[in-house]
């Protein structure tokens, strides 16, 4: 049998030869690996196209929302004006003077001594039937003018005395003005 030292030497020799073989440099041809450009360009183009289309769609939807909001604001303005008109008409219909005039046209009269019915069921006053002689003649009062439209009257007094100096100056002015007028007409 061989001794372990001999086996170790033979192994070391093999390891050394393998190391020397590996240590030798050799020129290896360079392999260029190029990633295909077509899929990358296609991907970037699709992303850009999708972004532009998405932006256009977003812009279009915002425009539609703006038009809808504008239409709703117009409707709100119209409805507010209509509400104001209806309130004015309702106030006119609820006017006590108008109601009294309609009641009088229908033949109703105001009793001379009215009686009142309380919430507890008691009658206050003496109920008497109304007669046509009790009828009141209702007339509309003219509408009151606002203070701005009816200002107080201002009276300004101008003295009527004329001094002789003022008359002389006025006469001279008229003479000079008359001469100038003639020169211009020629």
* Residues spanned by the domain of 83: 41-94
Torsion over CA: 42, 48, 54, 59 (sign): negative
Flag whether 118 is in a domain: no
Flag whether 133 is in a domain: no
Phi-psi region of 121 (alpha: psi -120 to 50; beta: other; left: phi over 0): left
Based on the structure, what is the number of domains in the chain? 1
In whole angstroms, what separates CA 14 from the centre of its chain?
95
- Whole-number Å distance between alpha carbons of 169 and 186: 27
Flag whether 1 is in a domain: no
Flag whether 164 is in a domain: no
Flag whether 129 is in a domain: no
Q: pLDDT truncated to tens, each residue of the chain (186 aa)?
A: 556 655 666 666 777 777 777 777 677 778 877 778 888 999 999 999 999 999 999 999 999 999 999 999 999 999 999 999 999 999 999 998 888 888 888 878 877 778 888 999 899 988 887 777 766 666 666 677 777 777 788 888 888 776 666 555 555 544 444 444 444 444
- Whole-number Å distance between alpha carbons of 113 and 127: 7
Flag whether 58 is in a domain: yes
Token representation of residue 95 = 């006017």
Token representation of residue 96 = 């006590």
């Amino acid at each position: 049998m061989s001794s372990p030292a001999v086996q170790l030497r033979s192994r070391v020799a093999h390891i050394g030869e393998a190391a020397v073989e590996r240590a030798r440099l050799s020129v290896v041809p360079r392999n260029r690996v190029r990633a295909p450009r077509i899929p990358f360009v296609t991907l970037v183009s699709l992303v850009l196209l999708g972004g532009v289309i998405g932006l256009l769609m977003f812009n279009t939807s915002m425009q539609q929302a703006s038009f809808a909001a504008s239409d709703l604001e117009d409707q709100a303005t119209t409805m507010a004006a209509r509400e104001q008109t209806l309130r004015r008409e309702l106030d006119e219909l609820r006017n006590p003077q108008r109601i009294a005039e309609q009641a009088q046209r229908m033949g109703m009269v105001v009793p001379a001594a009215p009686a009142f019915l309380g919430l507890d069921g008691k009658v206050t006053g003496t109920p008497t039937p109304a007669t046509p002689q009790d009828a009141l003649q209702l007339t509309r009062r003219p509408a009151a003018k606002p203070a701005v439209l009816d200002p107080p009257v201002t009276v300004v007094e101008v003295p009527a005395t004329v001094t002789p100096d003022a008359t002389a100056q006025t006469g001279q002015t008229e003479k000079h003005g008359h001469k100038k007028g003639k020169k211009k007409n020629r």
